[in-house]
Amino acid sequence: MSEASLMMRGGGCAWKGTNNARTTTSATCENGRRAFNNLLAQKQKQRRSPNATVKKKNNKAFISSVAVAAEDSTQVANEIPAKGTKYERENAIALDAVRIASTICDKVQAQLMRMDEKSITKGDKSLVTLADYAAQAVIAWRIGQDEPDMKFLGEEDADALVNGGEDGKEVLGKITILVNEAIHLFYPEAKELTDDDVVALIDKGKGEGGPEGRHWILDPVDGTLGFVRGDQYAIALALMDQGKLVLGAMGCPNMPKSGDVLEFNDAYSYGFSPRTVSKMLAGGSSAKTDWYKGCVFTAVRGNGCWMWPTSPDVKVSPTKVHVSSAFDPRKARFCEPVMKANSSQGFTASVADNLGIESKPLRIYSQVKYGSVARADADVFMKFPKAEYREKVWDHAGGVILVEEAGGVVSDAGGVPLDFSKGRYLELDRGIVAASSALHEKLMQAIQMSWDSAAL
């Protein structure tokens, strides 16, 4: 398969197309993922200068990506994200932390596609990878450089590594290597971390949250199933202060910058055209300004939502994003989870029909869906899980504030805003929805219509 013939899903899954119809086989998908990830990694390694990502540490603080943006003369309208806000410093820390974690996730996902590594099944039957642990550790490390006494609520803990015998010890050793490599890529003078250091960093995530004080909330790899399949996933970080979300930073390393989608029999998914894939693999003199894939969204309460390149090597100013400004049912698109087990796709289809939406759904793994709504790739996000399922705060905190700061509204299916101050779980009425402010009221009415019909 030639490079130019690849039609890529967001994470590097190859889709072969004829005219407007796209079909795939599992073999084509797997080969395409490996080919794309390997080729792109080789090209990026060739283009990267030795000092491209080096950031030096001064006596008390780190030089942040936001500071670099402030010096960029191409900054749109001279507006600097979070500049002058109460959480300017925290915004810089969060962006930096998510970017460091993204390098780990990129590497581990490529290893998974080559089958050099494999995922692990936890006691609750959910998947976890080296990247989940390593990303949580490195983000805790980065925040801890400025806030050593932080309160931290994360998805992972190190119990399985510490109590897992020789297998656990071996996995922990691999995680420690990943963490040190990522940190030294950004901060070459940082001290080497031991296995015990990494365990302590992972276990900082054992916090319980609550309405008092400041709490960082993290899902280190949201959408692990998408991650292990070479598809979309998110590194979702948020800060809660006195029970209210005040900041979010979400890394989406496989998300296309342009929002291009591919059409399948029953849905849309993010993807790249053959021409774009060829450009991504070719590189060239504009490699430092070419931005095709990899997005980080940041938001500080009252300051809007911004989109950055995942890689700090790409010297492009952040872009302020907004939810869709108008609702046209003929052009509107809604997004939902990929897996039927995670949400009732039949119910979302009914709600979309009540709204008059004619388009197929945009199905995406992880909190990337919140980014899709925030930058108007989709008008609506809906999730209606099984009645017994309890949503965790880290599965939504990072994404919710992005949509809200982009001009949207996020609530449960009854219209009540989400409350992240109740601990590790959310209390919800039936499901979660996100939409523009103009559409939210209509969405509530459509949900009630579908609910009433289902009850008949």
Q: What confidence tier does 238 reach under pLDDT thresholds 50, 70, 90?
A: very high
Q: What is the pLDDT of residue 121?
A: 79
Q: What confidence tier does 118 reach under pLDDT thresholds 50, 70, 90?
A: confident
- Say if CB 9 and CB 262 are below 8 A apart: yes
Our CA angle for 114, 117, 123, nearest 5°, is: 135
Q: What are phi and psi of 340, to 5 degrees?
A: -65, -30
| Beta pairing class for 362-363 and 334-336 | parallel
- Indicate if the pLDDT at residue 75 is higher than 90: no
Q: What confidence tier does 124 reach under pLDDT thresholds 50, 70, 90?
A: low
| Lowest-confidence pick of 169-173, 329-333, 351-355, 370-374 | 329-333
Q: Distance from CA of residue 160 to its chain's centroid?
A: 25
Q: What is the pLDDT of residue 453?
A: 87
- Indicate if the pLDDT at residue 127 is higher than 70: yes
Highest mean pLDDT among 51-65, 241-255, 282-296: 241-255
Task: Report whether 96 belongs to an annotated binding site.
Answer: no
- Say if CB 442 and CB 393 are below 8 A apart: no
- Indicate if the pLDDT at residue 257 is higher than 60: yes
Report pTM.
0.85
Q: What is the pLDDT of residue 74?
A: 38
Task: Report whether 266 belongs to an annotated binding site.
Answer: no
Q: What are phi and psi of 54, to 5 degrees?
A: -75, 130
Task: Report whether 155 belongs to an annotated binding site.
Answer: yes
Neighbours of 118 (CB within 10 A): 11
> What mean pLDDT value characterizes the chain?
84
Q: Residue for token digits 């004619």? A: 358
Give pairs for 306-311: CB < 8 Å, separation 24+. 306/81, 307/257, 307/371, 307/375, 308/65, 308/69, 308/95, 309/257, 310/99, 310/102, 310/251, 310/252, 310/253, 311/53, 311/99, 311/102
Q: What is the pLDDT of residue 116?
A: 86
Please compute the mean of the pLDDT values over residues 114-127 and round it to a whole number.
Answer: 79
| Lowest-confidence pick of 15-19, 154-158, 231-235, 382-386 | 15-19
The beta strands (E) that lie in 223-267 are given as 234-241, 244-256, 261-263
| Lowest-confidence pick of 95-109, 181-195, 329-343 | 329-343
- Indicate if the pLDDT at residue 12 is higher than 60: no
H-assigned helices in 147-164 = 159-162
Q: What is the pLDDT of residue 72?
A: 43
Q: What is the pLDDT of residue 294?
A: 95
Task: Report whether 395 belongs to an annotated binding site.
Answer: yes
Please compute the mean of the pLDDT values over residues 193-213 and round it to a whole number.
Answer: 97
Q: Which residues 6+ apart lie within 8 Å of 218 measured at CB?
A: 136, 139, 152, 153, 154, 155, 205, 236, 237, 238, 394, 398
Active site amino acids: 132, 224
Euclidean distance between CA atoms 22 and 180, whole angstroms: 42
Q: What are phi and psi of 222, to 5 degrees?
A: -85, 130
Of the two residues 346 and 277, the one the predictor is more confident about is 346
Q: Which domains does the chain have, with CATH numbers?
A: 48-257+292-321 (3.30.540.10), 334-455 (3.40.190.80)
| 295 torsion bin: left (phi>0), alpha (psi -120 to 50), beta (else) | beta
Please compute the mean of the pLDDT values over residues 114-120 and round it to a whole number.
Answer: 86
Per-residue pLDDT of 398-409, as tens digits, reads 999 999 999 999
Highest mean pLDDT among 63-67, 111-115, 243-247: 243-247
Q: Distance from CA of residue 190 to its chain's centroid?
A: 26
Per-residue pLDDT of 16-70, as tens digits, reads 333 333 333 333 444 455 555 555 555 444 444 333 333 444 333 444 555 444 4
